[in-house]
């Protein structure tokens, strides 16, 4: 009995969560109020004779205190619920070991929580529909294939058929069975990561972002992690090289996006082979020949051989245009892929910073393995940015999923600095992120519109976003990240600066420099007006030339903006576009006529047909209109802005300046 005292305490805590939830009257008693205690009960059963950490009692008391004051703020109960979830993740990391099922046992409670809280998303449905069509295993919901944006036809999707075929047997168990096989893939991936590094590191990789984002879901990421890790674990030797090449080919068949990873595996294999610098001449000749074949196919055979992107033979031009016509954009995308609050790697997974610092140590100790990890991962990332351009994030699907194939690299880096205090600090923050996402499942998703779901939950609007893309902000974030890396690599006496950097970063993210962005305007200010485009899916905005921000549309009676905090003598600066719409601003009328933008010349030269931009809101130039405010414009402390007549007016931002602005 004494040996099982800790398990007993955990079981008591599970009952306590259940009881406190009800006693406090917290929302969602039927779902969150059951699954979180159930996960703790499962953890108690799986714990065996292991000792709990010192954090257990403080965590239990924090949950209780949090539940006590949950009503202070409408989101308070979610933060309180996230505390025991964070405790479960900490428990998983602390008990994972090399014993039989030691790693699986650790991840199981959180994995189940993740599975039941993650809604089935559009990609999973498409995979299931394709699986049903290809295998003939029909299920109630997925028996009929539906056409989606980007698909060739109703029966032929934009996904390769390998993954749907692999997950098809799961459909024998019904609709929800579509996650059975991916779940097995994820568990195998975790075990392989544990073999590559150690069980606690594998658990960190699985339960924290980016791996957590799609853990157990019917997505390809964890299968790619598993395959990539197998390639790393294989011994040296010619026959094993052949297996690695096979893995690379399977990765491409799994998802076209993994072509960068596959190319990296080939290059790394070659880099690890004996020979001097001259050995690179042969592959260069082969690559040139390949480029020649592609050029002949493109220009002479009109894409008969390599039909890519559903027959669009101009697809390779995208790479050309991204690299040579807009290199600064590509550098900017690379920067935001690390720092954007909605989809950037480091915002949801700060532990990766520690992992990057660990890679310097890892590269010195395990040079060959480092090459095999680093070259494919970095080429994958570069290819993702160059190929996908502004859609590198893959939103609105789960945040962070694009970075999952890089997990083995980060895991090895983390293993090298696991015992450092600052690593634990960054891991703690990452645990909090995963816990919040489980407690509030909507936080898995974002829409690339400048409003992050986690920040929104915390009541924060950030002026820092890829859709607004201010280079200065990106440089500031880069400075902070570089400082953290320096601190992590320097002597212990500098390490306290890690707090300065973390606090500065948080302050920086929550810093909203005033003014009203269309996407962030609260219902207290805006009534009736819609955001354009009308659906939040960022795919709608991928190909906008000007800005990818959503705009507030004022087009019909009843729609209004009531701007508070304006005084007589102030100036309103409104960033707007329209084809001649008239706005009523206070007692004034303002005609808004902005020019239709011209197609940038670099895009006119792509393709064979002449192109002009249609008269759509996104193709009109935004201009700044300054409106001086007088006494009679203000009614009940607010200035009222409504549509008066003519075409719709689209608003991006409103700023209030004290005093007159010189025109």
Partner 1 sequence: MKIKDSSEVAVMLTGYTAWAAVNLFRGFSSASLPLIALFTLLGMSLNTSIFPLILGCSLLGLISPVLMPWAVLVSGLLACTVGITMKIRITGFVAVASTLWLIPVSSSIPLAVVAAMAVLIGKNRLRYFLIPAGFIISALIFGLPGPLTVKPVIAGSTITDGILTYDIPKVNTSRNEVLLPAPFEGVWAVWIALEAGGVRDSIPMMAIRLGDEMLLLPSGTDTLSFTMVPGDTLAITLMRGFRPFNHSVIHTTAGGERL
Q: Which of residues 13-52 bind partner 1 (CB under 8 A)?
A: 16, 20, 22-27, 29
Q: How many residues does the chain have?
A: 663
Among 71, 172, 289, 304, binds partner 1 (CB under 8 A): 71
Q: How far is the CB of 512 from partner 1 (least distance, A)?
A: 9
Q: How far is the CB of 148 from partner 1 (least distance, A)?
A: 24
Roughly what angle, to the nearest 10 degrees, separates helices 5-23 and 56-68? 10
Q: How far is the CB of 567 from partner 1 (least distance, A)?
A: 16
Among 9, 38, 64, 468, binds partner 1 (CB under 8 A): 64
Cβ neighbours of residue 575 closer than 8 Å, sequence gap 6 or more: 622, 623, 624, 625, 651, 652, 653, 654
Quick one: which of 43, 69, 70, 38 has its CA closest to 56? 43
* SS3 readout for 418-459: CCCHHHHHHHHHHHHHHHHHHHCHHHHECCCCCCCHHHHHCC
Q: How far is the CB of 65 from partner 1 (least distance, A)?
A: 4
Among 510, 520, 547, 573, binds partner 1 (CB under 8 A): 510
> Does the protein bind partner 1 through residue 520 (CB under 8 A)?
no
Quick one: which of 599, 603, 606 has its CA closest to 621? 599
Instruction: Pick out residues in 392-421 that bind partner 1 (CB under 8 A).
Output: 421
Instruction: Pick out residues in 273-292 that bind partner 1 (CB under 8 A).
Output: none
End-to-end CA distance of the chain: 81
Indicate the DSSP class of residue 647.
S
Binding span for partner 1 by CB under 8 A among 142-150, 304-312, 529-537, 586-594 = 529-537
Among 153, 237, 507, 663, binds partner 1 (CB under 8 A): 507
User: Please, are residues 109 and 88 in contact by the beta-carbon 8 Å criterion?
Assistant: yes
Cβ neighbours of residue 163 closer than 8 Å, sequence gap 6 or more: 127, 220, 223, 254, 255
Q: Where are the beta strands (DSSP E) in 218-258?
A: none
Q: What is the rounded CA–CA span in Å between residue 293 and residue 393?
A: 31
Instruction: Pick out residues in 573-602 that bind partner 1 (CB under 8 A).
Output: none
> Does the protein bind partner 1 through residue 72 (CB under 8 A)?
yes
> Does the protein bind partner 1 through residue 523 (CB under 8 A)?
yes
Binding span for partner 1 by CB under 8 A among 127-135, 322-330, 445-453, 508-516 = 508-516
Q: How far is the CB of 562 from partner 1 (least distance, A)?
A: 8
> Does the protein bind partner 1 through residue 511 (CB under 8 A)?
yes
User: What is the residue whose two structure tokens read 């959180």?
Assistant: 110
Cβ neighbours of residue 458 closer than 8 Å, sequence gap 6 or more: 75
> Does the protein bind partner 1 through residue 54 (CB under 8 A)?
yes
User: What is the residue whose two structure tokens read 């299931």?
Assistant: 128
Q: How far is the CB of 338 from partner 1 (least distance, A)?
A: 19
Q: How far is the CB of 591 from partner 1 (least distance, A)?
A: 20
Q: What is the rounded CA–CA span in Å between residue 567 and residue 384?
A: 49
Q: Which residues pair with 596 in a beta bridge?
A: 620
Among 79, 313, 353, 487, binds partner 1 (CB under 8 A): 79
Cβ neighbours of residue 303 closer than 8 Å, sequence gap 6 or more: 297, 311, 313
Among 88, 509, 563, 656, binds partner 1 (CB under 8 A): 509
Quick one: which of 554, 579, 549 has its CA closest to 652? 549
Q: What is the rounded CA–CA span in Å between residue 260 and residue 275?
A: 24
Quick one: which of 453, 454, 458, 355 has its CA closest to 407? 355
> Does the protein bind partner 1 through residue 625 (CB under 8 A)?
no
Q: What is the rounded CA–CA span in Å between residue 193 and residue 203?
A: 9
Binding mask 635-654 toward partner 1 (x if CB under 8 A, else -) reads: -----x-x------------
Cβ neighbours of residue 76 closer than 8 Å, sequence gap 6 or more: 66, 69, 70
Q: What is the rounded CA–CA span in Å between residue 579 and residue 596?
A: 8
Q: What is the rounded CA–CA span in Å between residue 530 and residue 519?
A: 10
Q: How far is the CB of 19 from partner 1 (least distance, A)?
A: 9
Among 34, 48, 62, 489, binds partner 1 (CB under 8 A): 62
The nearer residue to partner 1, 63 or 228, going by C-beta atoms, is 63
Instruction: Pick out residues in 539-558 that bind partner 1 (CB under 8 A).
Output: 556-558
The nearer residue to partner 1, 196 or 554, going by C-beta atoms, is 554
Among 102, 169, 441, 528, binds partner 1 (CB under 8 A): 528
Which stretches of 301-445 are DSSP H helices?
315-320, 327-339, 345-348, 351-365, 367-388, 407-416, 421-439
Binding span for partner 1 by CB under 8 A among 72-80, 116-124, 371-379, 409-417 = 72-80
Q: How far is the CB of 134 from partner 1 (least distance, A)?
A: 39
> Does the protein bind partner 1 through residue 529 (CB under 8 A)?
yes
> What is the Cα 352 distance to its own chain's centre?
14
Q: What is the rounded CA–CA span in Å between residue 574 and residue 190?
A: 52
The nearer residue to partner 1, 216 or 586, going by C-beta atoms, is 586
> Does the protein bind partner 1 through residue 73 (CB under 8 A)?
yes
Instruction: Pick out residues in 438-477 that bind partner 1 (CB under 8 A).
Output: 455, 458-460
> Does the protein bind partner 1 through residue 490 (CB under 8 A)?
no
The nearer residue to partner 1, 165 or 525, going by C-beta atoms, is 525
Instruction: Pick out residues in 245-274 that bind partner 1 (CB under 8 A).
Output: none
> Does the protein bind partner 1 through residue 90 (CB under 8 A)?
yes
Q: How far is the CB of 79 from partner 1 (least distance, A)?
A: 7
Q: How far is the CB of 33 from partner 1 (least distance, A)?
A: 8
> Does the protein bind partner 1 through residue 74 (CB under 8 A)?
yes
CA atoms within 13 A on the CB side of 96: 27
The nearer residue to partner 1, 22 or 365, going by C-beta atoms, is 22
The nearer residue to partner 1, 27 or 314, going by C-beta atoms, is 27
Q: How far is the CB of 348 from partner 1 (least distance, A)?
A: 14
Burial track 504-521 (b if 16+ CB lie within 10 A, e otherwise): bbeeebbeeeeebbbbbb
Instruction: Pick out residues in 301-340 that bind partner 1 (CB under 8 A).
Output: none
> Does the protein bind partner 1 through residue 193 (CB under 8 A)?
no
> Does the protein bind partner 1 through residue 504 (CB under 8 A)?
yes
Among 15, 506, 568, 602, binds partner 1 (CB under 8 A): 506
Q: How far is the CB of 26 from partner 1 (least distance, A)?
A: 7
Binding span for partner 1 by CB under 8 A among 38-46, 78-86, 141-149, 302-310 = 78-86
Q: What phi-psi label fits residue 115: left (phi over 0), alpha (psi between -120 and 50 degrees) or beta?
A: alpha
User: What is the residue whose two structure tokens read 């400082």?
Assistant: 483
User: Please, are residues 118 and 441 in contact by the beta-carbon 8 Å criterion?
Assistant: yes
Q: How far is the CB of 561 from partner 1 (least distance, A)?
A: 10
Among 560, 575, 577, 594, binds partner 1 (CB under 8 A): 560
Among 306, 320, 479, 499, binds partner 1 (CB under 8 A): 499
């Amino acid at each position: 009995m004494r040996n099982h005292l800790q398990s007993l305490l955990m079981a008591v805590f599970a009952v306590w969560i259940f009881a406190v939830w009800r006693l406090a009257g917290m929302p969602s008693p039927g779902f969150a109020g059951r699954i979180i205690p159930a996960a703790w009960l499962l953890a108690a059963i799986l714990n065996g004779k292991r000792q709990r950490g010192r954090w257990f009692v403080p965590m239990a008391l924090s949950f209780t205190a949090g539940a006590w004051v949950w009503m202070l703020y409408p989101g308070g109960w979610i933060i309180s619920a996230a505390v025991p979830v964070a405790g479960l993740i900490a428990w998983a990391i602390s008990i994972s070991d090399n014993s039989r099922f030691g790693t699986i046992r650790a991840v199981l409670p959180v994995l189940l929580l993740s599975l039941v809280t993650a809604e089935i998303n559009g990609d999973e449905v498409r995979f299931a529909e394709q699986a049903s069509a290809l295998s003939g295993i029909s299920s109630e919901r997925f028996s009929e294939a539906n056409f989606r944006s980007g698909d060739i036809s109703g029966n032929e999707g934009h996904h390769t058929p390998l993954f749907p075929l692999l997950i098809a047997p799961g459909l024998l168990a019904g609709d929800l069975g579509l996650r059975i096989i991916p779940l097995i893939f994820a568990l195998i991936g975790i075990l392989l990561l544990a073999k590559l590094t150690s069980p606690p590191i594998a658990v960190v990789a699985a339960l924290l972002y980016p791996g957590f984002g799609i853990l157990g879901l019917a997505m390809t990421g964890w299968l790619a992690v598993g395959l990539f890790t197998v390639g790393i674990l294989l011994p040296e030797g010619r026959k094993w090289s052949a297996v690695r090449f096979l893995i690379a080919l399977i990765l491409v068949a799994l998802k076209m996006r993994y072509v960068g990873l596959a190319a990296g595996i080939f290059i790394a294999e070659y880099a690890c082979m004996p020979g001097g610098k001259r050995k690179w001449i042969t592959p260069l000749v082969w690559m040139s020949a390949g480029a020649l074949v592609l050029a002949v196919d493109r220009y002479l055979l009109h894409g008969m051989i390599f039909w890519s992107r559903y027959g669009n033979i101009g697809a390779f031009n995208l790479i050309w245009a991204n690299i040579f016509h807009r290199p600064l954009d590509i550098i900017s995308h690379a920067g935001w892929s690390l720092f954007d609050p909605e989809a950037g790697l480091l915002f949801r997974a700060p532990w990766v910073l520690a992992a990057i610092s660990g890679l310097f140590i890892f590269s010195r100790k395990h040079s060959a393995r480092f090459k095999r990890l680093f070259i494919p991962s970095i080429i994958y990332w570069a290819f993702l940015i160059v190929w996908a351009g502004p859609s590198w994030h893959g939103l609105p699907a789960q945040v962070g999923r694009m970075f999952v194939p890089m997990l083995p690299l980060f895991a090895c880096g983390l293993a090298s600095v696991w015992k450092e205090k600052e690593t634990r600090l960054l891991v703690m923050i990452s645990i909090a992120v995963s816990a919040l996402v489980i407690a509030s499942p909507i936080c898995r998703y974002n829409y690339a519109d400048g409003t992050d779901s986690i920040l929104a939950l915390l009541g924060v609007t950030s002026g820092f976003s890829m859709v607004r893309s201010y280079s200065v902000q990106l440089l500031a974030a880069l400075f902070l990240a570089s400082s953290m890396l320096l601190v992590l690599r320097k002597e212990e006496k500098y390490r306290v600066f890690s707090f300065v950097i973390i606090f500065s970063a948080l302050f920086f993210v929550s810093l909203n420099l005033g003014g009203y962005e269309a996407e962030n305007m609260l219902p207290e200010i805006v009534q009736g007006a819609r955001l354009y485009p009308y659906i939040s899916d960022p795919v709608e905005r991928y190909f906008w030339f000007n800005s990818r921000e959503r705009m507030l549309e004022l087009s019909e009676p009843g729609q209004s903006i009531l701007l508070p905090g304006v005084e007589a003598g102030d100036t309103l600066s409104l960033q707007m576009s329209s084809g001649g719409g008239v706005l009523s601003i206070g007692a004034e009328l303002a005609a808004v006529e902005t020019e239709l933008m011209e197609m940038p010349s670099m895009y006119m030269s792509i393709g064979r047909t002449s192109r002009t931009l249609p008269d759509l809101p996104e193709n009109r130039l935004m201009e700044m209109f300054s409106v001086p405010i007088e006494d009679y414009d203000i009614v009940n402390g607010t200035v009222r802005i409504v549509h008066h007549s003519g075409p719709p007016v689209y608003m991006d931002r409103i700023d209030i300046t004290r005093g007159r602005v010189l025109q």
